[in-house]
Amino acid sequence: MKKLLFFLLSIVLLGALDLNAQIKLQEGFENITFPPTGWSTKTISGTVNWTRSTGQFHSGTASAFINYETPGHENWLVTKQFSVGSNDTLSFWVRKQYTTDYGDHMDILLSTTDTAVASFTNNLATIDVGALANSTWVNFKYYLGGTFSGNVYVAFNHYDVDGNGCWLDDVQVGNAVLNDAGVSAYSSPLPPFCPGSTISPTVTVKNYGEAPQTVIPVYYTLNGGAPVGPVSTVGPIAQNGTENVTFTGPMAAVVNAGTNTFRFYTVLPGDQDNSNDTAVTIVNVTSISSFPYFESFTNPASWTTTGTAMWGSYGGAGLINPSGATGDTAVYANFYNVSSGTGNLVSPIFNFSGLTKPVVSFYVAYRSYSGDDDALQVLVSTDAGNTWSAPVYSKSRLSTPSLSTVADSTGAYLPTVSSQWRHETIDLTAYAGQSCVLIAFSAITAYGNNCWVDDFSITNATDFQTQTINATGPVIFTGSFDLGTNYNLTANMTSIGPAGGNINFERSKTAPTTLVSPEIAVNAAATSPSGAVLQPTHVSPDGYYTLSYDYSNQATYDLSIDITGYTGVADADKLYIVKRADANASWVCLNTTRVGNVLTASGITGFSQFAIAGDVDNPLPVELSSFTSIVNVRNVNLKWSTVFEQNNAGFDIERKAVTSEVWTKIGNVSGNGNSTIARNYSYSDNNLQTGKYNYRLKQIDHNGNFQYYGLAGEVVVGVPSNFALSQNYPNPFNPSTKINYDLPFDSKVSIRIFDMTGREMSQIVNQTQPAGYYTVQFNASSLSSGIYFYSINAEGGNKSFVKSMKMVLVK
């Protein structure tokens, strides 16, 4: 049975079985963690080492692999410790890398003490890897029970003679049985899933026994509910053979937002080993509902690819991002090397339920090889990718406007200056209110040249307008702030090329998110309306603007912004119009003049984002001076300070796992309204599990406006150094209580509840868990008042931990 399966056999049942008839070790390398838990690798000499491979496999979808290397090197793969019974046999499958009969060999060694190289004094066999049959898996079996007993380790030592690596799979130790089957893997469907959607799970059933099997009943439970099934195999299934079964119609499952835990299991009559019957699959159904959303593609979470393998990422030498920075990662469609097909880059699921005017923005850079008509489209799905809309964006080399941002060239294309990027915006108001939205970049190759995409964002715009540009001159956008005060934004074009395209205007009445430091670049030369060169300290949360032109990124224009609707303005002559590419860049001050309530910046080139910035004389309205974190075991203490506040109602504290896109509100701290002195705030986030987390503050004004402040970097809650079990809380309790426990190693864990007589009342944990901090909740609504005991039994890292504690239920 593969490591990705959680063993659900209880301790009581295990104790009642014949240990000599159990599978002591079963590893198919299906879990992406390598080496598997308890296993280890040793590079005695050379540079290569054992790895996990999906290129070849005897069963499942993966195996262990050792690549060839120059002669004389050796590399070890060592099993976890297991106990040998009197009838146990070691079995495994090997496939050689090359058909040529190179002389490499693999020693099968055994240690009865520890994993030190010198301890493997027992040589079970030496396999001539080069002499194995070509293009096939070969099974090897070695009887252990007659010679060895107790706890042992086995090592697979690959020794290079002339360069022939091999794959290793389905390592098993135990007493072979006739009848033994189980669910070995969850097959489909794969995420993403819309919350509340119905899926028909398909799982793989494997025959582990020697006797062929036909009808094997399969069931599942979802989140501990009633069993669903059976769906039965048809067979015949030979030893180590597999067959898929699917739960359809009334046996399909509904997956809801959050964690959905499936337990798939077989009920084979006369099954002689129940330890491998069950596979547990956890389906996390999540959607992003916090906006603005920004993805720089440096480490994209939950983005996937489908179709032709075409999308890649690069952040190395030579690449210049849209803000002019180096060392930043972008994604690209590899039209240069892929001759045909369509490849999709698919976003995580977005929840637009709270949005009234969602707008997508991104940057694109493309050149053709020699007129080849490569194309890029943007598609939208509202059913988790089962169907897709007609393109909401579609450009190619030969379309009007063209996808090209620079002239054709035969060299592999890499954006080398920021002006090669064009800012694109798409109005998705038609999808406002939808709860399950996927967005895909669909790349259709004509074997041309690379198309780059960077800095993808989604905002809930207050206003979005489009005007066609046929000539130079003023382009005026008008509207109103929430309080009814009018604003005007005028872009007076002095040159634009080519004309005939659409200029898109977006206004967002929220504070702009900034992902880099400093938020505002050092201003050494730009003058304010006062004529002085000042350094703004903060950007107004009353709104920011995005301008893009769908024909090109080339233009020169003067930009005028009416600031009548802005709050916190005490001295307009000390304000600046500031400009940036997007949230992945610092704001840059522009030379700014003022006539009445209108600020103007002249001679601007390129399209991007604009905002209003000020200093301490223009408190616009809250400015953080610091935001830090301190980790204390499994608690995170957050501290932040403000230098001034205006109309500040308070701060929501939000947290997410680094691997997730979903922010969760975990607390709130009241603000000080209006303040011109330093204010200090703190919040403690306690009893976290081991992992990496991001934090941010959502500062909220009394009028409902808000702005986000992100904590720089990741907060890491590490692994405990010792086993521990804490007193439940609350105690006494009714009807629920929480229990904390610590695992310093990956461990098999059981937590059970007993009454005063020692009778077991409940088992609340029974699975293998990674090292970390854990909290489990126990609901005693079915029990009567009294004194109870909870007991942990954990085994991991060659250590065991047993402890019991008392708790009191009062109803």
| Contact assessment for residue 715 and residue 768, using Cβ atoms and an 8 Å cutoff | no
Is residue 17 over pLDDT 70? no
pTM, rounded to two decimals: 0.61
Give the per-residue pLDDT at 163. 67
Cβ neighbours, 10 Å, residue 716: 12
β-bridge partners, 681: 640
Is residue 7 over pLDDT 50? no
H/E stretch holding 144 reads none
Is residue 14 over pLDDT 60? no
Give the per-residue pLDDT at 102. 73
Separation CA 80–CA 152 (nearest Å): 8
As to burial, measured by CB atoms within 10 angstroms (0-12 exposed, 13-18 middle, 19+ buried), residue 146 is exposed
Set out the domains of the chain in order of their start, with CATH numbers.
23-174 (2.60.120.200), 181-285 (2.60.40.10), 294-454 (2.60.120.200), 463-614 (2.60.220), 622-717 (2.60.40.10), 724-809 (2.60.40.1220)
Cα separations in angstroms, 251 against 201, 222, 245, 260: 9, 11, 12, 16
Residue 569 pLDDT level (bands cut at 50, 70, 90): confident
Question: What pLDDT, in 10s, does the model give residues 685-737?
Answer: 998 988 889 999 998 888 777 778 888 778 888 888 889 999 999 999 999 99
User: How far from the centroid of its chain's Cα atoms is residue 469's Cα?
Assistant: 41
672 phi/psi in degrees, rounded to 5: -110, 20
Is residue 436 over pLDDT 90? yes
20 phi/psi in degrees, rounded to 5: -70, -15
Give the per-residue pLDDT at 421. 94
Cα angle: 640, vertex 643, 646; to 5 degrees: 105
Structure tokens at 412: 């592999």
Tell me what the pLDDT averaged over the chain comes to: 87
- Nearest residue to 195 via CA among 262, 282, 248, 254: 254
Structure tokens at 513: 């998110």
Cite the beta strand spans of 510-621 per DSSP E. Answer: 538-539, 544-549, 555-562, 576-580, 588-589, 592-595, 598-605, 609-614
- How many CA atoms within 13 Å lie on the side-chain side of 555? 34
| Average pLDDT estimate for 672-689 | 87
Residue 607 pLDDT level (bands cut at 50, 70, 90): confident
Biggest CA–CA distance in the chain, Å, is 97
- Nearest residue to 604 via CA among 564, 684, 672, 547: 547
Is residue 617 over pLDDT 70? no
Cα separations in angstroms, 402 against 243, 515, 750: 50, 31, 62
Residue 12 pLDDT level (bands cut at 50, 70, 90): very low
Separation CA 68–CA 705 (nearest Å): 62
- DSSP code string of 243-254: EEEE--GGG-EE
- DSSP code string of 202-269: EEEEEE-SSS-B---EEEEEETT---EEEEE----B-TT-EEEEE--GGG-EEE-SEEEEEEEEE--T
Give the per-residue pLDDT at 592. 97
Question: What pLDDT, in 10s, does the model give residues 492-547?
Answer: 888 887 778 888 888 887 667 777 878 899 999 999 999 999 999 888 877 788 98
Question: What pLDDT, in 10s, does the model give residues 101-140?
Answer: 777 889 999 999 999 999 999 999 999 988 888 888 999 9
Question: What pLDDT, in 10s, does the model give residues 362-383?
Answer: 999 999 999 999 999 999 999 9
Separation CA 489–CA 567 (nearest Å): 17
Question: What pLDDT, in 10s, does the model give residues 384-419?
Answer: 998 999 999 999 999 999 999 999 999 999 999 999
Is residue 187 over pLDDT 60? yes
Residue 753 pLDDT level (bands cut at 50, 70, 90): very high
Separation CA 378–CA 394 (nearest Å): 7
Cα separations in angstroms, 438 against 244, 278, 282, 465: 29, 33, 21, 24
- DSSP code string of 54-93: SS--SSTT-EEEE---STT-EEEEEPPPEEEPTT-EEEEE
